Homo-oligomer: A and B are copies of this chain.
Amino acid sequence: METNQASTHAFDTAIALSPIDNNTWTGRTTPAYANMVGPFGGIIGATLLNAVISHPARLGDPTSFTVHYAAPISDGEFTVHARPLRTNRSTQHWFVELMQDGQVAAFATAVTAIRRDTWETTDAQFPEVPPADQVAQSPAIPQAAWTARYDMRFIDGGLGTGEPVDHPSQTRLWIRDEPPRPLDFLSLAAMCDAFFPRIFIRRQKWTAAGTVALTTYFHADAAQLHEQGSAPLLGVARGLHYGKGFFDQSAEVWSAAGKLLAASHQVVYFKE
């Protein structure tokens, strides 16, 4: 963790937790990462993961992380509880709850693991796209403050910034924190949830929509994330199926050099 350099970044303020005991913290929403209603989901996810990372009993790096957005989160304070459910020799399984007004508003499960060198290959295809500095930065969306916290450059599949090319609901974009912040698991977790709802892209119109559950698999360890510094990452997302009030989105986040840093899959509620 880049605690010194990052301590003043709006991201670190947004995910900050004040310890109550070994398993319990308080946090609060911040206007900097507000969404149209309530906070940006990616910042809630990162806050829950921050509880795991801050826990004194943690073993290894985040490897799998699932967040459930169980109810709307109100602006203001919340409490986070995190506890290991099972600790093995090199893996650990976690359960985290975010409580507001005495009810569970969000929760997460995670696997942390001691990563070690093994046989290695990537079968997913790194897309051929122009480098970040050859793609125009997209303006932030005034109604969603969090969008101003990212430098987003859409190659295709933006909101009115370009129709998808290869796939009817695919987005490819360069993304980094704005202002730049050294990459870690927390910021990567948030970026994995920074894709606009696929249904906006697919239909090129707005409808009420919100992530219900999101899983992210981290393929990089802490040292590999550290190597990225604050360089832009390439995000690719597409929808698989839409119907009966829900759609799913799968996504990958790559380094500019073609390393697959994380893959994620989420299910999203939509109204009509």
Hey, which bits of chain A sit against chain B, CB under 8 A? 63-64, 66, 68, 70-71, 85-86, 88, 90-91, 93, 95, 97, 103-105, 107, 109, 111, 113, 115-124, 167-169, 202-203, 212-213, 215, 217, 219, 221, 238-246, 248, 250, 252, 260, 263, 265, 267, 269-272
Contacts and interface: CB of A to CB of B under 8 A. Distances in A.
Given A91-B212, A250-B250, A265-B217, A103 B86 contact: yes
A213 B116 CA distance: 19
Given A91-B269, A219-B241, A265-B217, A167 B123 contact: yes
A95 to B, nearest CB: 7
Contact of A212 (B64, B167, B169): B64
A147 B244 CA distance: 33
Secondary structure of the A side of the interface? strand
A66 B66 contact: yes
Contacts of A265: 215, 217, 250, 263, 265
A252 B240 contact: yes
Copies in the complex: 2
A244 B269 contact: no
Contact of A239 (B104, B123, B246): B123
A86 B71 contact: yes
Contacts of A241: 121-124, 219, 260, 263
